Amino acid sequence: MAPAFPDSRSVILTGAASPRGIGRASAHYLAGLGWNIGIIDLDDAAAKAVAEEIAAEHGVVAAGAGANVAREPEVRAAFDSLEAALPQVVALVNLAGVSSPVPYLEVTSEEWERVMGINMNGVHYATRRAVESMVENGVGRVVNLSSVSAQRGGGTFSKTVYSAAKAGVIGFTRSVARELGHAGITVNAISPGPIDTDIMGGTLTEERKTAMAADGVLPRIGTPRDIAAAIAYLISEDAGFVTGQTLNVDGGLYMH
């Protein structure tokens, strides 16, 4: 049996400072459930500002730190500062990501490295640091954001580099889940379909939302809250027997 969650528990989210992103919505949602919040974002000032906003609104402990997740020393330094400011870190949610609508025949080595650096390497760097503490504590939850693009081979906004990185996230998730299950750590992925954020080339028009929804079986695209609720379940104490899984939150776009 893994140890029970501590009375006061913290979750660290990467890429959670964008005004209309999944990360910020998830941070507020989880704070509303009593989680203390750590935010890592490329924009240090924004990370700290969102943390202040969450602490004031929800009455939890919150802290922010700046880091480029593609650079491991920055990630480790950010974790160190957040762990010092927060109660026990029980969960990590890897949300930091970039889109890439570049057609494959136009992909440069720079574009490949940029997308892989953030969407794949960043997940590894943050997870690697987080699970060091989780293993010591005997309990932990990691949730990684993949994408339906990984499973369908694109077909949304982003193309090959993004799909490859997000497919890598699924393989990474399964393997780390297998290696660290004995230590009381679960590792799962969420695979969103189209979500109403700004990552897909700016704020979506109603026409574009309708066109995107047409691929799925539900008459709408997703909202950040849809993803936040899935994260909340996977990092909960109740999800202790769920690991190595990819949960599609995509309106039926991909069924497997």
Active site residues: 162
The number of residues in the chain equals 256
Maximum Cα–Cα distance across the chain:
52
In the block, residue with structure tokens 């109403």: 196
Q: Are 151 and 145 in contact, with CB atoms under 8 Å apart?
A: no
End-to-end CA distance of the chain: 31
Output the six-digit token pair for 160: 């090959």
Distance CA 62, CA 59 (A): 9
Distance CA 164, CA 182 (A): 29
Q: Indicate the residue type of 80.
A: D
